[in-house]
Chains A and B, each alone.
Chain A
């Protein structure tokens, strides 16, 4: 360990600010939280600029033993780096989104958000198995309180469901981790990523980790906690839940399941594809019939996460790169969509789609931004979700053409439910006087959404900035997967010109 412990700093800054928040009044807490999250964002950008994509696999490494099973070992590769940047980017926006809409117990609220940021960054940066678990699990506490204290009418039920569901998934992973530590005699994640467990043990280990990450991601059929949690959570809570917390599941797959249990993962490819396929189509259909805006977006999250699992378990470069881009893109877009819901919810205090309509008349600015995010969510070329979804689909097609068919349906259905939502909210004539009287975006709301719009276009137009830091790390995962990667059923051959012409000719007649 040399020089400044950047990653520890990234964790400690929000933690300290969170403690300070508890001792100041409402406005002080707001400003403390905003400044702390902005400092963290600046730090993460600094890390991004200092990160060397062609350098060592693990950079900014720190290590300090506790003396027992667990070590304070931090370090990031390109994958973790970008997820940390995403977290640090969304956090100040969350604080801003709660600036006016949270009025009771503000210091506590800000403290929990800052605590959560510290824990999430910690889980992405942890290089020790048990340290990761501590951060990963610890994130439940602030989220439980945020949903339970500041949530909607059904908040208690949603908070319990969130906590117990996720806990149940995670504890099995803990036992698997203990088994790994006692077999491999190390808890260091980099060491374990190169360790070969016996194949029959890998199967069980994979299932134990799947129990945790499938709930977190979430995958069908263990996604049912998500709509409840999203609907009941305050806007910023939904943003952070959809934007970052779900990504912990995908991150878990790429960091643990794939490189640590390659054989185990390969054996369960059919299962993962079936679950992803069901999620892609079924949850999209469910999203189509929702009457609650937040619930619709929540189900769309589940459907989008299917692209992540499709891509990851295609086990080829396009698939995994696509999965990572989908995670980043979805982090921006779903966060932005929840913010858009929050904007109108703050004005009318209902999430009922039927109460809105014709907002493009009285809220043109809002309608414009909402349109951008809707298109991004559908995966329109030029927006953030397109490169990810496209790559993920290409990767999936190379592994299994049937899975790719399911993935394509997801895109079509995404267009259906998102456009249907947009049409009902923004177009037509307003059905209610109070909806028609709503003011357009305030300056604060512009400030919150504009950076995300910039991010959405940047990622859509020049995804290379995001792919570059991850390229070598994905390559390293692929090297681990090489011996088990599925051959695929689509054997593409480039036809000769004459042959191709002939076939085309035959087909038309």
Chain B
């Protein structure tokens, strides 16, 4: 029993997922509200279960997974984000023909997969976690199956995701074949033995390529705008937050824990991916007219900055990545909750940026919150989104990569343009047809909470969150 104690969050979520699936199957549409709330409750329970000693048990199951502070930190981001994604869908699917209840169940399974991802310390459990998350995600992307765009998004995601899984698996097989072990500690020992063989290097490159797909880093980002645009908005909100954070944390753990001694081998890959993501994410967003596509490029851009922290490596770099993802998830969820509220008089979703025109005059509070998320994503002080960017740059400068930091920060200026464009549309243009009122007090509360966190008040979090990320990063070294 003691052996299972550290896995309490996963056990709660898996059990809840299986039970709720049955409930959903037998109650149909009537039970959808109950299923959603129970799913949120189980996620809250799983988050609560993270607190306490069992989550610091170290390697378990012969080193398949590790219950360390790094994993707990990841789960503390993922579970609440998943819960928000369920709340975000409230009132979204009821209008269509879909069964709303299965949505929550799929999110639960995805959350289990993500929690395995962040705690995996073996290539096998890594793959299992990743696939569990991805399979749930493919279904979620095409959840509105009567909608062509949604079906297309799901198919595209599935085909490209399968390709990426294949690449990743091939890399895993190479690493396993040449190192003789799939454990991260064993891999680290092999890499520490001297210059890695060609086979190991190939394995490393393929594994990183597969992971780059999951975090949608350039040049493996092509699926992101299409999937983000086509998927139902609550699903997009979910994709942009929890799975992205989980994949970045997974990549961080692989790079630091398994490939740590080969840092010089992967650092150049990470630097290239980081700069490419920052610049492409910034430039490609210019011509977009769809807010979801634009936010897709914004997420590509932001992942680039997180990778700058990863390229710095070391405890400071790792800590900055954790800090970055924590704040990023809050900003992104806030922004997507705002997108969810973009509905016309009849309650149909609107996605064009032009429809935001003059929002500051028709809905000032909504516009102010949206503007704060945009300035924060752009990393303009005094909003809190500035701070994680500063931390990754600081990590890069402290480890001697000043040129990387300079290049990346110039990317923020280019990126600032398209965030400013949204603010310009909302504040400086003449009002367009007003949106219908969203009657979702809970979502409103969540937007308010996110806005408070990323407001200058967020700087009060620097101390506690900073020491937490430092300790979480420390558990990898």
* Chain A contacts to B: CB under 8 angstroms: 22, 65-70, 105, 108, 119, 130, 133-135, 137-138, 140-141, 144-145, 148-149, 155-156, 159-160, 163-164, 167-168, 171-172, 174-175, 178-179, 181-182
Contacts and interface: CB of A to CB of B under 8 A. Distances in A.
B381 interface: yes
22 contacts: A66-B462, A67-B464, A70-B459, A105-B360, A134-B381, A135-B381, A137-B380, A138-B381, A138-B382, A148-B427, A149-B428, A155-B428, A156-B424, A159-B424, A159-B428, A163-B420, A164-B413, A172-B406, A174-B393, A178-B393, A178-B397, A178-B405
B322 to A, nearest CB: 14
A160 B390 contact: no
A144 to B, nearest CB: 7
A489 to B, nearest CB: 37
A149 to B, nearest CB: 5
Contacts of A137: 380-382, 386
Contact of B380 (A70, A140, A156): A140
B128 interface: no
A181 B394 contact: yes
Contacts of A156: 424, 428
Contact of A175 (B382, B402, B464): B402
Interface string B358-396: 001100100000000001000011100011001101100
B314 to A, nearest CB: 13
Contacts of B393: 174-175, 178
Nearest to B460: A66
B410 interface: yes
A134 B417 contact: no
A167 B416 contact: yes
Contacts of A172: 406, 409
Interface of B is mostly: helix
Given A159-B424, A171-B412, 17 more contacts: A66-B460, A105-B360, A108-B364, A119-B382, A134-B382, A137-B381, A141-B375, A141-B380, A145-B423, A145-B427, A149-B427, A163-B416, A167-B413, A167-B416, A171-B413, A175-B405, A178-B398
A130 B389 CA distance: 13
B417 A164 contact: yes
Contacts of A133: 381
A159 B402 CA distance: 30
Contacts of A65: 463
Nearest first, the 3 closest Cβ-Cβ pairs linking A and B are: A67-B463, A68-B462, A138-B382
Contact of A182 (B398, B409, B460): B398
A175 B397 CA distance: 8
A467 to B, nearest CB: 34
A416 B394 CA distance: 50
B434 interface: no
Nearest to B398: A182
Given A130-B390, A175-B409, A179-B402, A67 B381 contact: no
A65 B424 CA distance: 36
A174 B398 CA distance: 13
Contacts of B410: 168, 171
A95 B18 CA distance: 63
Q: Find the residue from B361, B381, B390, B410 having the highest chain A CB count within 10 A.
A: B381
Contact of A144 (B391, B394, B420, B463): B420
A113 to B, nearest CB: 15
Nearest to B459: A66
Contacts of A144: 420, 423
B466 interface: yes
A329 B413 CA distance: 33
A112 B120 CA distance: 49
B27 interface: no
Contacts of A159: 424, 428
A200 to B, nearest CB: 13
B467 interface: yes
Contact of A67 (B402, B416, B467): B467
Contacts of A68: 387, 462-463, 466
Contact of B424 (A130, A141, A148): A148
A156 B413 CA distance: 17
B416 A178 contact: no
Nearest to B389: A174
Contacts of B386: 134, 137
B463 A174 contact: no
Contact of B397 (A22, A119, A141, A179): A179
Contacts of A179: 397, 402
A163 B391 CA distance: 23
B380 A174 contact: no
A140 B375 CA distance: 11
A468 B15 CA distance: 75
Nearest to A165: B413
Given A67-B467, A141-B375, A160 B381 contact: no
A175 to B, nearest CB: 5
Contact of B361 (A105, A168, A171, A181): A105
B316 to A, nearest CB: 10
Nearest to A171: B409
Interface string B136-151: 0000000000000000
A351 to B, nearest CB: 21
B428 A178 contact: no
A148 B429 CA distance: 9
Given A148-B428, A149-B427, A175-B406, A182 B394 contact: yes
Contacts of A69: 390-391, 394, 462
B215 to A, nearest CB: 24
Interface string B151-169: 0000000000000000000
B462 A70 contact: yes
Interface string B291-319: 00000000000000000000000000000
Contacts of A181: 394
A144 B464 CA distance: 33
B248 to A, nearest CB: 21
Nearest to B417: A164
A66 B417 CA distance: 31
A184 to B, nearest CB: 13
Contacts of A164: 413, 416-417, 420
Interface in B437-477: 459-460, 462-464, 466-467
Contacts of A160: 417, 420, 424
Contacts of B360: 105, 108
Contacts of A155: 428
B415 to A, nearest CB: 10
A70 B417 CA distance: 27
A213 B390 CA distance: 20
A135 B382 contact: yes
A196 to B, nearest CB: 20
Interface in B318-377: 360-361, 364, 375
Contacts of A108: 360, 364
Contacts of B467: 67
Contacts of B423: 144-145
A114 to B, nearest CB: 14
Nearest to A166: B413
A355 to B, nearest CB: 27
A22 B394 CA distance: 36
A26 B390 CA distance: 38
Contacts of B402: 175, 179
B309 to A, nearest CB: 13
Nearest to B412: A171
Contact of A178 (B394, B462, B466): B394
A145 to B, nearest CB: 6
A134 B389 CA distance: 13
A67 B397 CA distance: 20
A373 to B, nearest CB: 32
A182 B361 CA distance: 45
